[in-house]
Chains A and B, each alone.
Chain A
């Protein structure tokens, strides 16, 4: 352009007269380079100068300042404040200044930039400029700054550019129209017929056609139906054009169209195979294969033979790409394509196992990751052992080589790459996130389909123990772990790979009875303090997360331990106090269980007394140190067990000749009972809430208001009694903190189902009047929650919750707990639950009500905190302990601990046993009841308690059915496990 050549004299950045007075971009860059270390200060100074310069009346100065700002923006220095000045420069009459202005707009404007509204007229003017470079500026800039209103006002002008004589303008206009239609969809109605004309026009410049194809390809996946009519023309272009860039896009487009039009498949098959067989361009070859896969051409039923031929042709070519002259890019994309094929043609892919396995050891992490994914996808029981062993070997090799050596980013010349390739392979240190990914994958591979591919579980347990030692020293960044296939995220808390390993050991111990011994001993060996330096990665605490789940295994299956005493010492090692609270909670739960086992081990010895008292003293010491632990769960459990064990040591002191009954029977009975079985992670969700239970409803809409007057009310009321009143008092007399419905006799209470209780429960209507009085009285009391939907008859402090019978207030009776149970019973054999339970009174599981009173009732807390595993153990121990004792206290406690869904048979058994027990006041051991194998679950077994507890409480009969269906499905898997084992 001659005009622009003339303007060169005034160009910002050239040695025009003006640059003597201020810095040009060149000076700025030079200055930056000479202020190494003090760049920021230099930049801040320059920014200040720019701020002054850009306000200048002189357009050259302004443009120079803007150019500098754009340059600094690239380094992250905000220039949005200069938006108006950008507009000023854009409106310059000189092209090169205008270009700076437009560049500034591209780099710094956002759709919410306010000055955009002022730009409309100027843009309109530039779009119709006769000068092609000037006209191109708005076309290239608009996509970055478009807003619906801007699009609307500029659309007519831009449309007119489609008929411009220059192909450059036409192709940019087409793209610009595409971007307009994204923010302003109506534009497409006007623009599409014109774009289509250009696409159909065989005389059109090829770059315009390509641009149109590119745009159609972008629009294609958004609304594929609209583009089906184009198929003949696309087909023609694909076969005849000879332009690979365009062909790639057309194939991409066809891949989105073929699923809608099966006839296309037949038509495409031949040309595509033709291209695959003849083309020399790898990108086109790859896209053809990719198009065949993504377009579902391999998926249909008809023409089977032809399809199989195509499939094997594709896989063959992909294999070639992997093997051939080891171009890493081809390897990578071939694996990418294989990863897509593997879902439909696993057999074809697994035939390529040899080359894929080689890629597992590739020097390039990207390739390895793809191969890893592929390996996970195609593993069968035959290949699992090989693949996993290979991966473990890889990890072991890495961890033995020097961890200090880092992979240095090489800046070597392109020519030297071939040489360095070989060296890189030898010295390669795997990044930690990759190693973590490998461990995750190994676990995925082994655990898939409920361990259906594993034939040798003892081997698997061994692998798991090895993996603990091979954990990478640093925990990976959270984001790297994307394949969350096994739902290990418990209630939103992140699980580390170490925790997963622990959870796998626990899973195996729970599900596969055949190797429970091995799993338990593996857990024991990991737990022992002496072993930790050997089995865990050196000098890092990364393995600690594994301790939580394995301590549960050690506790729960303490009878399998080689040396309970050693395990116990490891559990109460003073160093453990520093462990994370979640782990400690599980430790605390395991301690008494292992202790019980340790007692059994030394019972027969002569020195039993001293040994036991020594153990007890140590445990008590450990628990005491945790009694003031900042984590409430840890603290609570520590104190609970502390008290129980203190009783034990008292008993030990008083009796002389034999191990006290408390230690031999009572404490063990806390933990004896039926086996825990896994429950589906999602089981809880299947439980349908009864319609009358409105958990989402606010107690009081004006809660803040209530809190507002907190002070005044506090001054005249004793806080404690107010709380008590509110929560527990049915009638107006405040001092009676006794529950109105205090169960009169343990037996009577236990016997009644919810439905039966109705008659016996004091009728709530009696409390109606007092309630209204109380309402009046506490109207201003912040602790008195609302008249709206408050269930008035609430549980006693001892959790002896008895729903009030009056349905309109709190209709707990509609929760058909009995229904659920009966149904369970009918399909007893279908459900995966063991017939026995560790509870006696499933009927009392009416925990539903307590959802309303979150703070007070343990079951609610369980579900809220999601810390089910731990809580459950706690609950279970209570129930085991107290109920068999048959005392009133235990009975009162019981509702909190219920949870399991039982089969009818099981229920009856338990019921009978319980009644007998109550009569005879003797303990029962439920262990004898046959367990029916394990339920499949994604999550740990402990889930069960929560899930089932809630299901008891919440389930309507419908919910029961849901659950039923779920279980049925699960059971199919379940039975596989023991068989395999």
Chain B
């Protein structure tokens, strides 16, 4: 299962935190900090898998060898422009499929916000949660089809997310889409 989905920007500021395994707020924050620390060290050409941060590595190595378990064993991340998307998962998820899942998530966000950028996600914070909950429920992937995900979110809120984000963003900073999205698929 997927234990957590995180999004943070290049400065380590969280933009989305969703934990499917219960953790108290302090542990969540230190986990985010540790993962950010790892991501920040990665070069652009490096692969999309992170070693386990200290919080997760305790006792995890032995269990991962023995087969599936509840312990998170893999961290997959992808960076789009200023944002990094992270999925923490157990060994029952396929690492390569998780990379694709992040791509699906970003594509769905892009459809919701039309050329999504970091600001959209800051102001369209609720919508981002809604997109995620169409894809993943309780740590289990329920939908990977972008059309269906977008339709699910639209049925909740129409196009408000976009409207709101545009409204917010147009008043302050210049917008820039997440480049690189088109390069995939």
Taken together as a complex, chains A and B put the C-alpha atoms of A857 and B100 apart, in Å, by: 65
Residue numbers in B under 8 Å from A245 (CB-CB): 97, 141, 144
Taken together as a complex, chains A and B put the C-alpha atoms of A80 and B22 apart, in Å, by: 14
Can you list 5 A-B pairs, Cβ within 8 angstroms, ordered by A? A1-B158, A175-B137, A407-B43, A414-B180, A421-B44
* Contacting pair B164 A211 (CB below 8 A): no
The distance from the CB of B107 to the nearest CB of chain A, in whole angstroms, is: 14
Given contacts A333-B49, A369-B51, A417-B44, 17 further A-B contacts (CB under 8 A): A11-B160, A25-B123, A30-B172, A71-B125, A76-B25, A136-B152, A140-B138, A143-B20, A175-B140, A215-B140, A287-B94, A364-B45, A366-B51, A414-B44, A414-B81, A416-B44, A431-B41
Which residues 161-177 of B sit at the A interface, judged by CB distance below 8 A?
164, 168, 172
Taken together as a complex, chains A and B put the C-alpha atoms of A176 and B137 apart, in Å, by: 8
* Contacting pair B92 A5 (CB below 8 A): no
Residue numbers in B under 8 Å from A178 (CB-CB): 138, 140
The distance from the CB of A67 to the nearest CB of chain B, in whole angstroms, is: 7
10 closest Cβ pairs, A-B complex: A414-B180, A143-B138, A283-B96, A328-B47, A421-B45, A221-B68, A409-B40, A76-B29, A364-B46, A479-B54
Q: Which of B17, B43, B50, B67 contacts A221 (CB 8 A)?
A: B67
Taken together as a complex, chains A and B put the C-alpha atoms of A290 and B122 apart, in Å, by: 39
- Residues A143 and B46 in contact in the complex (CB < 8 Å), given A103-B126, A414-B180, A479-B57: no
The distance from the CB of B152 to the nearest CB of chain A, in whole angstroms, is: 6
* Contacting pair B43 A144 (CB below 8 A): no
* Contacting pair A482 B61 (CB below 8 A): yes
Which residues 629-663 of A sit at the B interface, judged by CB distance below 8 A?
none
The distance from the CB of B119 to the nearest CB of chain A, in whole angstroms, is: 9
Residue numbers in A under 8 Å from B48 (CB-CB): 328-329
Using CB atoms, name the residue of chain A closest to B59: A482
Residue numbers in A under 8 Å from B152 (CB-CB): 136, 168
Majority secondary structure of chain B interface residues (helix, strand, loop or mixed): mixed
Taken together as a complex, chains A and B put the C-alpha atoms of A35 and B82 apart, in Å, by: 21
Indicate if A78 sits at the interface (CB-CB under 8 A).
Answer: yes
Q: Which of A71, A76, A100, A367 contacts B47 (CB 8 A)?
A: A367
Among B17, B26, B44, B160, chain A packs the most CB atoms within 10 A around the CB of B44
Using CB atoms, name the residue of chain B closest to A331: B47
- Residues A217 and B92 in contact in the complex (CB < 8 Å), given A256-B67, A329-B48, A414-B180: yes
- Residues A26 and B168 in contact in the complex (CB < 8 Å), given A245-B97, A416-B44, A424-B43: yes
Indicate if B115 sits at the interface (CB-CB under 8 A).
Answer: no
* Contacting pair A218 B156 (CB below 8 A): no
Which residues 202-252 of A sit at the B interface, judged by CB distance below 8 A?
207, 210-211, 214-215, 217-218, 221, 245, 248-249, 252
Taken together as a complex, chains A and B put the C-alpha atoms of A923 and B100 apart, in Å, by: 79
The distance from the CB of A559 to the nearest CB of chain B, in whole angstroms, is: 44
- Residues A143 and B82 in contact in the complex (CB < 8 Å), given A96-B157, A221-B67, A412-B44: no
The distance from the CB of B156 to the nearest CB of chain A, in whole angstroms, is: 5
- Residues A4 and B157 in contact in the complex (CB < 8 Å), given A14-B164, A282-B96: yes
Residue numbers in A under 8 Å from B29 (CB-CB): 75-76
Q: Which of B58, B69, B99, B158 contacts A8 (CB 8 A)?
A: B158
Residue numbers in B under 8 Å from A290 (CB-CB): 94
The distance from the CB of A272 to the nearest CB of chain B, in whole angstroms, is: 15
Contact flags A24-44 to B (C-beta < 8 A → 1, else 0): 011001100100000000000
Indicate if A695 sits at the interface (CB-CB under 8 A).
Answer: no
Residue numbers in A under 8 Å from B67 (CB-CB): 221, 256, 294
Q: How many residues of A sit at the interface, in one of the four size bands?
A: 35 or more
- Residues A477 and B158 in contact in the complex (CB < 8 Å), given A328-B47, A366-B46: no
Indicate if B88 sits at the interface (CB-CB under 8 A).
Answer: no
Contact flags B143-155 to A (C-beta < 8 A → 1, else 0): 1110010001001
Residue numbers in B under 8 Å from A99 (CB-CB): 126, 130, 156
- Residues A366 and B17 in contact in the complex (CB < 8 Å), given A252-B94, A283-B100, A286-B96: no
Taken together as a complex, chains A and B put the C-alpha atoms of A11 and B167 apart, in Å, by: 14
Taken together as a complex, chains A and B put the C-alpha atoms of A176 and B140 apart, in Å, by: 9
Residue numbers in B under 8 Å from A100 (CB-CB): 126
* Contacting pair A144 B138 (CB below 8 A): yes
Q: Which of A11, A78, A283, A421 contacts B97 (CB 8 A)?
A: A283
Taken together as a complex, chains A and B put the C-alpha atoms of A106 and B50 apart, in Å, by: 26
* Contacting pair A286 B138 (CB below 8 A): no
Q: Which of B14, B26, B47, B137 contacts A329 (CB 8 A)?
A: B47
* Contacting pair B94 A283 (CB below 8 A): yes
Taken together as a complex, chains A and B put the C-alpha atoms of A794 and B51 apart, in Å, by: 56
- Residues A95 and B156 in contact in the complex (CB < 8 Å), given A26-B168, A256-B67, A364-B43: yes
Residue numbers in B under 8 Å from A287 (CB-CB): 94, 96-97
Residue numbers in B under 8 Å from A428 (CB-CB): 43
Residue numbers in B under 8 Å from A482 (CB-CB): 57, 61
Taken together as a complex, chains A and B put the C-alpha atoms of A532 and B57 apart, in Å, by: 36
* Contacting pair A76 B26 (CB below 8 A): yes
Which residues 1-25 of B sit at the A interface, judged by CB distance below 8 A?
1, 10, 13-18, 20, 22, 24-25
Taken together as a complex, chains A and B put the C-alpha atoms of A712 and B26 apart, in Å, by: 49
Residue numbers in B under 8 Å from A211 (CB-CB): 140-142
Residue numbers in A under 8 Å from B22 (CB-CB): 110-111, 144
The distance from the CB of B172 to the nearest CB of chain A, in whole angstroms, is: 7
The distance from the CB of B173 to the nearest CB of chain A, in whole angstroms, is: 9
Name A's B-contacting residues (CB within 8 A). 1, 4-5, 8, 11, 13-14, 25-26, 29-30, 33, 67, 71, 73-76, 78, 80, 95-96, 99-100, 103, 106-107, 110-111, 132-133, 136, 139-140, 142-144, 168, 171-172, 175-176, 178-179, 207, 210-211, 214-215, 217-218, 221, 245, 248-249, 252, 256, 282-283, 286-287, 290, 294, 328-329, 331-333, 336, 363-367, 369, 407, 409-418, 420-421, 424, 428, 431, 477, 479, 482
Residue numbers in A under 8 Å from B49 (CB-CB): 329, 332-333, 366
Using CB atoms, name the residue of chain B closest to A477: B54
Taken together as a complex, chains A and B put the C-alpha atoms of A178 and B141 apart, in Å, by: 12
Taken together as a complex, chains A and B put the C-alpha atoms of A328 and B10 apart, in Å, by: 22
Using CB atoms, name the residue of chain B closest to A177: B138
Among A100, A214, A431, chain B packs the most CB atoms within 10 A around the CB of A214
Taken together as a complex, chains A and B put the C-alpha atoms of A367 and B42 apart, in Å, by: 12
Q: Which of B130, B140, B148 contacts A218 (CB 8 A)?
A: B140
The distance from the CB of A81 to the nearest CB of chain B, in whole angstroms, is: 12
Using CB atoms, name the residue of chain A closest to B10: A411
Q: Which of A75, A329, A415, A421 contacts B179 (CB 8 A)?
A: A415
Taken together as a complex, chains A and B put the C-alpha atoms of A175 and B133 apart, in Å, by: 12
* Contacting pair A424 B45 (CB below 8 A): yes
The distance from the CB of A362 to the nearest CB of chain B, in whole angstroms, is: 9
Taken together as a complex, chains A and B put the C-alpha atoms of A572 and B61 apart, in Å, by: 44
Using CB atoms, name the residue of chain A closest to B15: A74
Q: Which of A74, A282, A415 contacts B16 (CB 8 A)?
A: A74
- Residues A33 and B172 in contact in the complex (CB < 8 Å), given A76-B29, A218-B140: yes
Taken together as a complex, chains A and B put the C-alpha atoms of A417 and B179 apart, in Å, by: 12
* Contacting pair A333 B96 (CB below 8 A): yes
* Contacting pair A420 B43 (CB below 8 A): yes
Taken together as a complex, chains A and B put the C-alpha atoms of A140 and B142 apart, in Å, by: 11
Residue numbers in A under 8 Å from B164 (CB-CB): 13-14, 26
* Contacting pair A29 B14 (CB below 8 A): no
Residue numbers in B under 8 Å from A144 (CB-CB): 20, 22, 138
- Residues A248 and B97 in contact in the complex (CB < 8 Å), given A143-B137, A218-B140, A479-B58: yes
- Residues A75 and B14 in contact in the complex (CB < 8 Å), given A283-B100, A366-B47: yes
* Contacting pair A207 B92 (CB below 8 A): no
* Contacting pair A4 B156 (CB below 8 A): yes
Taken together as a complex, chains A and B put the C-alpha atoms of A607 and B51 apart, in Å, by: 63
* Contacting pair B43 A415 (CB below 8 A): no
Among A73, A100, A409, chain B packs the most CB atoms within 10 A around the CB of A409
Q: Which of A29, A171, A328, A424 contacts B142 (CB 8 A)?
A: A171
Among A30, A74, A211, A363, chain B packs the most CB atoms within 10 A around the CB of A74
The distance from the CB of B16 to the nearest CB of chain A, in whole angstroms, is: 7
* Contacting pair A364 B97 (CB below 8 A): no
Using CB atoms, name the residue of chain B closest to A291: B94
